[in-house]
Amino acid sequence: MLEIGAKAPDFSLLDKDGNSVALSDFLGKKVVLYFYPKDNTPGCTRQACAFGANYEEFKRLGVVVIGVSKDSVASHQKFAAKYELPFILLSDPERQAIESYGVWQEKKMYGKVSMGVVRSTYIIDENGMVEKVMPKVKPDTNAEEILAYLKGE
């Protein structure tokens, strides 16, 4: 995982509509960059819906919300439509951003060890630097924790 104060690695990935989106497009704005394992799974759906439910508050604070997973553009499109997700979802099947942000890690589930995306969130400041690192976040509280941090609560 990246350290606080590190330069956030730039990337260019496709959003749910097939448009190329780069992190550097958002210089001058604070960005919540969250990585999640898979569209339409229970935890990931709860996390995305929590970001969706709080989206107006993020917007009011001038914060961009970006979700990243290995899922395809088509999968993201269906996921966003099904749950009316108003924020950016990026497809990273080659793990370009996933690996550069250190969230592709060994995971253990039911005694099996495999590699996968560890649910993690970064807050990137207006200058493209890592302001906060939140490894192994809980899907149900992640969005609210970030808002509390951003508001200085």
Is there a catalytic annotation at residue 49? no
Other beta carbons less than 10 A from residue 74's beta carbon: 12
Question: What whole-number distance in Å separates Cα of residue 113 and Cα of residue 26?
Answer: 36
Residue of 8, 21, 23, 44 with catalytic role:
44
CA 15 to chain centroid: 12
For 151, phi then psi, to 5°, come to: -90, 0
Contact in structure between 145 and 137 (CB atoms under 8 Å): yes
Nearest C-alpha neighbor of 46 from the set 111, 119, 118: 119
Where helices occur in the chain by DSSP H, the ranges are: 42-53, 55-60, 73-83, 96-100, 142-150
What is the identity of the amino acid at 67? Answer: G
Residues marked as catalytic: 44
